[in-house]
Amino acid sequence: MNFITVSNYDELSRKGANIIAAQVIQKPKSVLGLATGSSPVGIYRELIARYEAGDLDFSKVKSINLDEYLGLDGSNDQSYRYFMQKNLFDHINIDPANTYVPNGCAEDVAAECEAYDARIEDFGGIDLQLLGIGLDGHIGFNEPADIFEKGTHVVDLHESTIEANARFFASRDEVPTKAVTMGMGGIMQAKKVLLIANGAAKKEIVQKAFFGPITPLVPASILQLHSDLTVIYSEN
């Protein structure tokens, strides 16, 4: 594991963007696994700036996102599809047909989950997976549980996750209680993993996840077994 401590969010975002930019430059047809939430916003801003400067070309890139709230479609401004459009896809030259986010409104959610895993396999796996980490150690929406769940699946979001995500909604009651998430199989099969964590509130969980025992009660701890993991942490 390459654990990098940086002094602020801007530095985290620049260093994170450097890793993604290097991936896209070295392999223009990269499959990028992407995340939402507040942590990656700065990285996406950096990537857009580098695209606008003519330094990055996303025309051959494919992207596959980690998760989506159940019941929200892409036109809902709280959906993760909407987030990705506004924070990245609408500003770069990625082909919209090559961007994948789970369909939170699929009629047959089980079939949607299976198709999502089949797509990842079809791609030959993810080249670089970007992750944030929840206060309870979740990655994607793989919440603490008795087992590490392998495939894409539907989860009941934990209280602490609903609480943490309420900041993005008008009220806590509007936060969906279920989501579709890529499982640990898709994440662990990624050739490279980049996890970013920002703020003093994440310090304890980062310590537990990367320097404590590997347990499904701290889902991110499984990443200690990944052979190409970079963690960038900024306390400020």
Among this protein's residues, is 153 annotated catalytic? no
* Residue with smaller CB distance to ligand F6R, 57 or 177: 177
Among this protein's residues, is 136 annotated catalytic? yes
* Residue with smaller CB distance to ligand F6R, 67 or 127: 67
Among this protein's residues, is 52 annotated catalytic? no
- One-letter amino acid for residue 133 of the chain: I
Contact status, residue 21 vs residue 92, Cβ threshold 8 Å:
no
State which H helix or E strand residue 61 sits in: none
Q: Which residue has the tokens 């995500």?
A: 165
Q: Which 76-135 positions form the footprint of ligand F6R (CB under 6 A)?
A: 132-134
Which residue from 187, 58, 193, 35 is spatially nearest to 125, judged by alpha carbons? 187
Judged by CB under 6 A, how many residues of this single chain contact ligand F6R? Answer: 14
* Residue with smaller CB distance to ligand F6R, 19 or 133: 133
Give the span between the Cα atoms of 42 and 219, in whole angstroms: 24
Q: Strand pairing partners for 52? A: none
Q: Provide, rounded to whole angstroms, the least separation between the CB of residue 4 and ligand F6R.
A: 17
Give the span between the Cα atoms of 63 and 201, in whole angstroms: 29
Among this protein's residues, is 95 annotated catalytic? no
Q: Provide, rounded to whole angstroms, the least separation between the CB of residue 128 and ligand F6R.
A: 15
Residues that bind ligand F6R (CB under 6 A): 35-39, 66-67, 132-134, 138-141
